Chains A and B, each alone.
Chain A
Amino acid sequence: DGGITQSPKYLFRKEGQNVTLSCEQNLNHDAMYWYRQDPGQGLRLIYYSQIVNDFQKGDIAEGYSVSREKKESFPLTVTSAQKNPTAFYLCACGTGPDEAFFGQGTRLTVV
Chain B
Amino acid sequence: RKEVEQDPGPFNVPEGATVAFNCTYSNSASQSFFWYRQDCRKEPKLLMSVYSSGNEDGRFTAQLNRASQYISLLIRDSKLSDSATYLCVVNLYYGGSQGNLIFGKGTKLSVKP
Q: Which residues of A contact B (CB under 8 A)?
A: 30-31, 33, 35, 41-43, 48, 50-51, 88, 90, 92, 94-105, 107
Residue B105, interface by CB 8 Å: yes
CA of A90 to CA of B101 in the docked complex: distance in angstroms? 14
A41-B105, A42-B87 provided; 5 other pairs, C-beta below 8 A? A42-B105, A48-B98, A90-B43, A99-B91, A100-B101
Interface centre among B42, B44, B87, B91 (most CB of A within 10 A): B44
Are the CB atoms of B32 and A42 closer together than 8 Å? no
Q: A41-B105, A42-B105 are in contact. Are A96 and B93 (CB under 8 A)?
A: yes
Query: How many residues of chain B have a CB within 8 Å of chain A?
Result: 23
CA of A110 to CA of B47 in the docked complex: distance in angstroms? 33
CA of A21 to CA of B11 in the docked complex: distance in angstroms? 34
Are the CB atoms of A42 and B103 closer together than 8 Å? yes
Q: A88-B41, A103-B43 are in contact. Are A97 and B99 (CB under 8 A)?
A: yes
* Shortest distance between the CB of B100 and any CB in chain A (Å): 8
CA of A95 to CA of B31 in the docked complex: distance in angstroms? 13
Are the CB atoms of B99 and A31 closer together than 8 Å? yes
CA of A94 to CA of B104 in the docked complex: distance in angstroms? 18
Are the CB atoms of A31 and B98 closer together than 8 Å? yes
Are the CB atoms of A43 and B103 closer together than 8 Å? yes
CB-CB under 8 A from B105, the residues of chain A are 41-42
CA of A98 to CA of B46 in the docked complex: distance in angstroms? 11
